[in-house]
A and B are shown apart, each in its own frame.
Chain A
Amino acid sequence: MIYREAGQFKDGYAADEQIFPIRQDRYGIVFILVLAFVGVPLIANDYWFSAILIPFLILSLAALGLNILTGYTGQLSLGTAGFMAVGAFAAFNFMLRVPGMPLLAAFILAGLTAAAVGVVFGLPSLRIKGFYLAVATLAAQFFIEWVLVKFPWFSNYNPSGVISAQPMEILGYAFDTPARKYMLTLCIVAVLALAAKNMARCETGRVWMAVRDMDIAAEVIGIPILKTKLLAFAVSSFYCGVAGALWAFAYLGAVEPAAFDLGRSFQILFMIILGGVGTVLGSFLGAAFIVLLPIFLNVFAHILLPGVSSSLLSNLELIVFGSFIIFFLIVEPHGLARLWQIGKEKLRLWPFPH
């Protein structure tokens, strides 16, 4: 009943082609955006901004990038963190070496640099598939980390190989407080998420999905496989690159290549598996699950189990976190986004399921 679209008539192509064809979804998304842009800044404090919301948004963006490649195009990748590292170091170097470089331009250039690197490492995808491609992208992960460590030029000859991000400023407006950094991150993530949603439902996305579902069939009906796959690698790496730049500039402030290690790649891969492969919503849900759950467990554990030794609690957190992952994978192997979809269908009939 709540979700019934009865009475919503589409009286033109434009209405039929909307991103959210159901009115309830439109209201929902407007509500979420208003909440994120207006509500959250009113109620959240610095801790929420700088320790929870910003990393959540940035990792959502990275998961979105990986979802374009793995979820929509079916190319398994373990190089996500490597592409993030390219983005972070590229943005740092553009800001450092080009006088008067605007921040957003540096982010875009960082994304494009990551895209270029992604295309290079995407080339083998024409010949290798599935797990073998995962191993090939693993090479990207290790190679990028090694290059950034090996050549001190990338970190401007810092003895520890750490880059410290320049202050963020757009047209004289400084993004220096957590709330402002949050707004900047939110704007970038919102725009890129909208772009991803649109890409997924227009020809680009259809072509990606055709390649994912069966690449030979896609080739037979005239889809250029190499171009499609490389485009997916480029777009995906662009997203990851921007996410990496934000990770350095808006979140940590100082990063070393080790912050983008294989563990991070796996973390992002788990986000999309748990959140929902091949959905935009899933990237956000998965990031929320992986980023926020350990923190909540850490906070809750000390409140709910007072007097239990801290080292037991720390290990317990990992165990509980692991069990949650297994639980959700058993209950819904298609991820949290699919749970939401099932919920929607149930709500459509509720309370008269017959």
Chain B
Amino acid sequence: MRKLTVGLKRAALCVAVGGMIGAAGPAFAAGEQFVPVPIYRVGPYAAGGTGIFGGMMDYMQMINARDGGVNGVKLTWEECETEYKNDRGVECYERLKKKGPTGATVFHPLSTGITYSVIERATADKIPVISMGYGRTDASDGRIFPYIFPLITNYWSQSTAKIKFIGQREGGMDKLKGKKLVNLYHGSAYGKETIPVLDIQAKKYGFEVTHIEVAHPGNEQQSQWLQIRQIKPDWVILRGWGVMNPTALKTAQKVGFPADKILGVWWSGAEEDVLPAGDAAKGYIASGFHPSGTDFPVIQDIQKLVYGGGKKGNMDDPRRVGTIYYNRGVIHGIITVEAIRTAQEKYGKKPLTGEQVRWGIENLNIDDKVLKRIGAYGLMPTLKVSCLDHEGGGGVKFQQWDGTKWVVISDWFQTDQSIVRPMIEDSAAKYAKEKNLAPRDCAKEAAAEGKKKS
């Protein structure tokens, strides 16, 4: 008899495990909207992965606890470890894309490399991909990339804001003439993405730019900084990620380059990027599309509902709530939830498919009124997405590290679309030609929508 029970137990376990490995997955109730979480908790970029996805999951948990989901539709999610590797990311995408009653709603790759790898898959599977502040830049042209949304600002737009900021610091855009810039970039798709736009701006404003690559993961930069010392640039743009950032700041101090002439991109401007550098980081400036801190009603709601009363949220270290990465994760959550809310207005208050949420993202309009309603006023820029523009026209703020916290030192800088948009359209058109794609006709689609409404 005992043997039999053991055997039965084993069989049950096998069946259970076998079921898990198949696409079936755990059971989700019908009134739920599934969001995949391809997190990276290990590896050199773990600080970004845990902070951003931790914030996003906390926000969704808070929405479930406070509002009972989005208009009554509960949000569910499941983690999958990518280790920031493209092949593991693809595996996670494939594993999670069919979970939940309506499949994956929206995919956040949180890695430029993984974004590139899922563009075609997601387009074929009709699952929208939000690559907020990263990803494939020319995907901002929604006519050719209907399912890809590099929201808030893409890399190129961000670069134009940065040059504007440098111009302001130097006392006017005309003062940029003859200045020397160094673009110290991470040796990956992410790092290389801004080279062409910097070259074009260099020509336009008359400055000189030298591109210096740091090989992944970037924990050794002696030779690069010696080269920088020889060039004697006026500014160094730090296009780093993960462990490369503190290393850059420390090495800069070693070769005597002032930290306040180093301008980081927003993947170089979190607490985790500067704290390990200690003293060397003081005065370092980084761009961002949101401040740190917990002085926002939405973050306070999370503290109360997710962490209050000794409860455990999705951050191992609750002190990280309100850091740069965490707040960025909350913004990921806000955009996901608002996209679902927008789509629900058209398709009804029920679990939606990826295709329906895609419409929601494309018609997303987060203005000051919405921001005040969700308690995120000042946390993120306003956003208006359209068929033509999958970026949404966000702004860029600059912040300086004072040794203990990030201090915002500028207002929203608008990006220079006169430079970026033609480049995007060129590049997207080239992609369309390579792939034999016919661009969508936005005017026609809008007309069809209008007709349906009236």
Given known A258-B113, A258-B187, A258-B189, contact A51–B42 (CB-CB < 8 A): no
Residues on the A chain within 8 Å of B427, using CB? 159
Distance in angstroms between the alpha carbons of A311 and B316 in the assembled complex? 8
Which stretch in B19-27, B171-179, B255-263, B391-399 binds the other chain? B19-27
Tier of interface size on chain B? 35 or more
| Contact across chains for B434 and A252 when beta carbons are under 8 A apart | no
Residues on the A chain within 8 Å of B112, using CB? 160
| Contact across chains for A159 and B137 when beta carbons are under 8 A apart | yes
Instruction: Give the size of the chain A interface in residues (CB under 8 angstroms).
Output: 41
Tell me what chain B mostly uses at the interface: helix, strand, loop, or mixed.
helix
Any A CB within 8 A of the CB of B94: yes
Tell me what chain A mostly uses at the interface: helix, strand, loop, or mixed.
helix
| Contact across chains for B116 and A310 when beta carbons are under 8 A apart | no
Any A CB within 8 A of the CB of B90: yes
Residues on the A chain within 8 Å of B88, using CB? 294
Chain A min CB distance to B200 (Å):
11
| Contact across chains for A295 and B187 when beta carbons are under 8 A apart | no
Which stretch in B191-199, B369-377, B441-449 binds the other chain? B191-199
Residues on the A chain within 8 Å of B436, using CB? 167
Q: Mark B67-84, 1 if CB is under 8 A from A, else 0.
A: 000000000000111000
Given known A51-B91, A160-B112, A259-B113, contact A310–B189 (CB-CB < 8 A): no
Any B CB within 8 A of the CB of A300: yes
Distance in angstroms between the alpha carbons of A298 and B431 in the assembled complex? 35
Residues on the A chain within 8 Å of B90, using CB? 50-51, 251-252
Given known A310-B39, A318-B42, contact A51–B189 (CB-CB < 8 A): no
| Contact across chains for A160 and B117 when beta carbons are under 8 A apart | no
> Restricting to B347-375, which residues have a CB under 8 Å from any CB of A?
none
Residues on the A chain within 8 Å of B216, using CB? 258, 261
Neighbour of A299 across the interface among B21, B98, B136, B316, CB < 8 A: B21
Chain A min CB distance to B153 (Å):
16
Q: Mark B298-338, 1 if CB is under 8 A from A, else 0.
A: 00000000000000000010000000000000000000000
Distance in angstroms between the alpha carbons of A250 and B216 in the assembled complex? 26
Residues on the B chain within 8 Å of A302, using CB? 79
Chain B min CB distance to A94 (Å):
14
Residues on the B chain within 8 Å of A166, using CB? 434-435
Q: Mark B149-188, 1 if CB is under 8 A from A, else 0.
A: 0000000000000000000000000000000000000011
Distance in angstroms between the alpha carbons of A300 and B117 in the assembled complex? 25
In the complex, which residue of chain A has the Cβ closest to the Cβ of B213? A149
The total of Cβ contacts below 8 Å across the A-B interface reads 111
Any B CB within 8 A of the CB of A164: yes
In the complex, which residue of chain B has the Cβ closest to the Cβ of A318? B42
Any B CB within 8 A of the CB of A309: yes
Any B CB within 8 A of the CB of A47: yes
Residues on the A chain within 8 Å of B295, using CB? none
Any A CB within 8 A of the CB of B384: no
Given known A161-B192, A167-B435, A314-B41, contact A254–B120 (CB-CB < 8 A): yes
Chain B min CB distance to A166 (Å):
7
Neighbour of B189 across the interface among A55, A156, A256, CB < 8 A: A256
Neighbour of B116 across the interface among A46, A55, A254, CB < 8 A: A254
> Restricting to A287-328, which residues have a CB under 8 Å from any CB of B?
294-296, 298-300, 302-303, 309-311, 314-315, 317-318
Interface residues of chain B, those whose CB is within 8 Å of chain A, are: 16-17, 20-23, 39, 41-42, 50, 79-81, 86-88, 90-91, 93-95, 98, 112-113, 116-117, 119-121, 136-137, 187-190, 192-196, 213, 216, 316, 427, 431, 434-436
- 4 cross-chain pairs, A with B, having the tightest CB-CB distances, nearest first: A51-B94, A160-B189, A314-B41, A254-B116
Known: A159-B192, A253-B117, A303-B20. 9 other contacts (CB 8 A): A45-B23, A51-B91, A149-B213, A251-B87, A299-B20, A299-B21, A302-B79, A311-B41, A311-B316
In the complex, 27 of the A-B residue pairs with CB atoms within 8 angstroms, ordered by the A residue number, are A45-B22, A46-B23, A46-B94, A47-B22, A47-B23, A51-B95, A52-B91, A55-B91, A149-B213, A156-B434, A159-B194, A160-B112, A160-B189, A164-B434, A164-B435, A166-B435, A167-B436, A251-B90, A254-B117, A256-B113, A256-B188, A258-B189, A298-B80, A299-B20, A300-B17, A300-B20, A311-B316
